[in-house]
């Protein structure tokens, strides 16, 4: 019984930690991959997928990026930055953040209030001359800001 009482808390901390940080790592990978795919569709001006066919080009990029991330779109935030003008050969930057959360509650203090963040910069290849891309920004998550993007 004494050995059991000594080993169980350590074992539970390891198992619950693997669960929480495994889900956090999965969310982080989803954000990174979704931002890359959203930016890729933006630089080739491909708006034909994921039901994101209305609104400005920037709103469509944000919609596509959120869809490609594949997590709760209500909690996903996107920012699009054009450092220069919207022209072929110039750069387009897409950033996104998604809040981490503790599934088990055991590591809530370490995960809650933090966010998975990713940004990517790609060269614009094709233009949407009818509806040019402009800077776009969702409201940042509570306790977060866009200073890193």
Q: State the DSSP string of 51-90.
A: T--SS-HHHHHHHHHHHHH-S-TTT-EEEEE-SS-S-TTS
Residue range(s) defining the domain that contains residue 85: 2-137
| Region 29-39 average pLDDT | 95
What's the pLDDT at 46?
76
| Region 62-77 average pLDDT | 93
Decide if 149 is inside a domain: no
Q: Is the pLDDT of residue 49 over 80?
A: no
Label residue 81 left, alpha or beta by phi (over 0 means left) and psi (-120 to 50 means alpha). Answer: beta
Of 9, 26, 13, residue with least CA distance to 100: 26
Q: What is the mean pLDDT of the chain?
A: 90
**Domains contained in the chain, number:** 1
Q: How far is CA 35 from CA 1, 8, 53, in A?
A: 51, 40, 18
Decide if 26 is inside a domain: yes
CB 37 within 8 A of CB 120: no
Decide if 146 is inside a domain: no
Decide if 20 is inside a domain: yes
Decide if 145 is inside a domain: no
What's the pLDDT at 38?
92
Give pTM, 2 decimals.
0.87
Decide if 143 is inside a domain: no
């Amino acid at each position: 019984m004494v050995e059991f009482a000594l080993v169980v808390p350590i074992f539970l901390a390891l198992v619950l930690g693997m669960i929480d940080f495994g889900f956090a790592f999965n969310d982080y990978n989803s954000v990174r991959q979704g931002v890359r795919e959203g930016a890729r569709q933006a630089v080739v001006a491909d708006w034909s997928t994921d039901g994101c066919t209305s609104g400005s080009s920037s709103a469509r990029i944000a919609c596509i990026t959120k869809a490609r991330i594949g997590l709760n779109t209500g909690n996903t935030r996107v920012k699009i930055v054009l450092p220069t003008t919207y022209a072929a050969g110039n750069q387009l930057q897409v950033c996104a953040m998604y809040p981490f959360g503790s599934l088990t509650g055991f590591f809530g203090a370490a995960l809650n209030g933090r966010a998975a963040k990713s940004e990517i910069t790609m060269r614009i290849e094709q233009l949407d001359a009818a509806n040019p891309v402009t800077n776009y920004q969702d409201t940042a998550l509570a306790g977060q800001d866009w200073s890193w993007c």
